[in-house]
Amino acid sequence: MSDTLSPTKAPKIGFVSLGCPKNLTDSELILTQLSAEGYETSKTFQGADLVVVNTCGFIDDAVRESLDTIGDALAENGKVIVTGCLGARSGDDGGNLVKGVHPSVLAVTGPHAAQEVMEHVHQHLPKPHDPFLDLVPGSFGEAGIKLTPRHYAYLKISEGCNHRCTFCIIPSMRGDLVSRPVGDVLKEARALFEGGVKELLVVSQDTSAYGVDVKYRTGFWDGKPVRTRLLELVQTLGEIAKSYGAWVRLHYVYPYPSVDDIVPLMQEGLVLPYLDVPFQHSHPDVLKRMKRPASGERNLERIQRWREICPELVVRSTFIAGFPGETEAEFEHLLEFLREAQIDRAGCFAYSNVKGAAANELPGMLPIELREERRARFMAVAEEVSTARLQRRVGQTLQVLVDKSVGLGKKGGVGRSWADAPEIDGQVALLPPEKVSKSYKVGDFVRARIVGTQGHDLVGMPV
């Protein structure tokens, strides 16, 4: 073949994605568009013509990691575009924080700015001209490149948040709630299932508030009207998932009364009986100081009611110990809540100031040692509750989604039941199948009898 006929090398972009699942979905959007336009993408800086770093700015460690990564990319490559939460933050002098630390970056954008990032990429690394690819429609909002394994995917339903929790700077970085049109969300979901996704994880900053900003307006899906509201979204997602034999899992659900209507759908099997509810605390006064959504709700009674409707419900949550002004009595209230609510999986941070957050100015800042000590006490109770909850699974037969398979089934595999979300919860260690010829395939569902526990995990024998 003559040289003139060989295609020119595609420009290559090194892409680094840091932070939470919500950030990951932004990265996926940008990566999808890059490859739709004919750019080559890679996870390393090596041989890249330009690097994009999608940053996180939530806690101080994340800020450090993001700034270090940008520094590494500049040292190794030199041409760097920064996007994500940290990109929206100001430094001490009021100027852009990233530009202050790394003045040689080519451009900085805030989060949720895929179009802006693309414009900067075009400016610094012109897009390859390909008469065929130029005809491919843009993939924004449809299922595109996923950074998760092929069998599960995050589905972001909204951006931003209408609350102003005193410890959080997300609304100042991501703005108020903007719900994605329900038709677009459902279209993306179906494309993901079509592409082999077996578990869809619904994410946002405040999943229960979906549609509030558009007054729950009616959208369209498959020619039928669907309201932009969590209940209708979950119902429809559940129905689509059913036809693909897939799971739907809900994250960041605040305990508003409207969630009571979602729980029966869990009992029906339309959506997994699993709720990730970021309670952060239990004491009403602390919740008020935190300015938490649903702080006036009776959370304990709410969980008990949910469990009456759906006894299998698993609740995972995160908490903050040692919030400014937290008294010993308030902290003990939290421990008692943990025991009574029987939270299946709980994570806990010792409170720490986040630059720019209102809580930094609250009176009654506790010594770091006390915050850490309370976190440790919290975790001890959380473990106790979690271990007891796990023990109840021994003897049950569960459906397990295979995440990893080792060898020819000889060494078994690793999966998860409906009770565990990827990366944050536990796993099911699958023992080797009795038939040596049989092996597990990633993304397959298997049925396993739980024969024991191992720390936070279960051990299952396939049946």
For 63, the token pair is 């800020």
Residue 6 corresponds to which amino acid? S
**Between 74 and 421, CB nearer to ligand SF4:** 421
**Between 299 and 427, CB nearer to ligand SF4:** 299
Binds ligand SF4 (CB under 6 A): choice among 120, 146, 163, 316: 163
Quick one: which segment of 140-148, 158-166, 235-243, 372-380 binds ligand SF4 (CB under 6 A)? 158-166
Kindly tell me the number of DSSP H helices and DSSP E strands found in the chain: 12, 20
**Between 37 and 206, CB nearer to ligand SF4:** 206
Site for ligand SF4 in 385-414 (CB under 6 A): none
Binds ligand SF4 (CB under 6 A): choice among 138, 171, 181, 325: 171
Binds ligand SF4 (CB under 6 A): choice among 97, 165, 385, 419: 165
Kindly state the smallest distance separating residue 292's Cβ from ligand SF4, in Å. 7
Run of H or E including 27:
helix 21-36
C-alpha neighbours within 13 Å on the C-beta side of residue 23: 24
CA distance 423 to 414: 13
Kindly state the smallest distance separating residue 19's Cβ from ligand SF4, in Å. 13
By three-state DSSP, how is residue 28 classified? helix
Kindly state the smallest distance separating residue 293's Cβ from ligand SF4, in Å. 5
CA torsion through residues 390, 395, 399, 403, sign: positive
By three-state DSSP, how is residue 361 classified? helix
By three-state DSSP, how is residue 444 classified? coil
> Could you say whether residue 421 binds ligand SF4 (CB under 6 A)?
no
Binds ligand SF4 (CB under 6 A): choice among 153, 161, 201, 321: 161
**Between 172 and 397, CB nearer to ligand SF4:** 172
Run of H or E including 185:
helix 182-194
DSSP per position, 272-333 = -SEEE---B---HHHHHHHT-TTTTS-HHHHHHHHHHH-TT-EEEEEEEES-TT--HHHHHH
On whether the CB atoms of residues 70 and 105 are closer than 8 A, the answer is yes
Quick one: which segment of 119-127, 164-172, 311-319, 397-405 binds ligand SF4 (CB under 6 A)? 164-172
> Could you say whether residue 206 binds ligand SF4 (CB under 6 A)?
yes
Binds ligand SF4 (CB under 6 A): choice among 293, 409, 415, 432: 293
User: Count residues contacting ligand SF4 (CB under 6 A)?
Assistant: 10
Kindly state the smallest distance separating residue 291's Cβ from ligand SF4, in Å. 8
The structure tokens 């419900």 sit at 313
Kindly state the smallest distance separating residue 116's Cβ from ligand SF4, in Å. 22
Interacting residue ranges for ligand SF4, rule: CB under 6 A: 161, 163-165, 168, 170-171, 205-206, 293
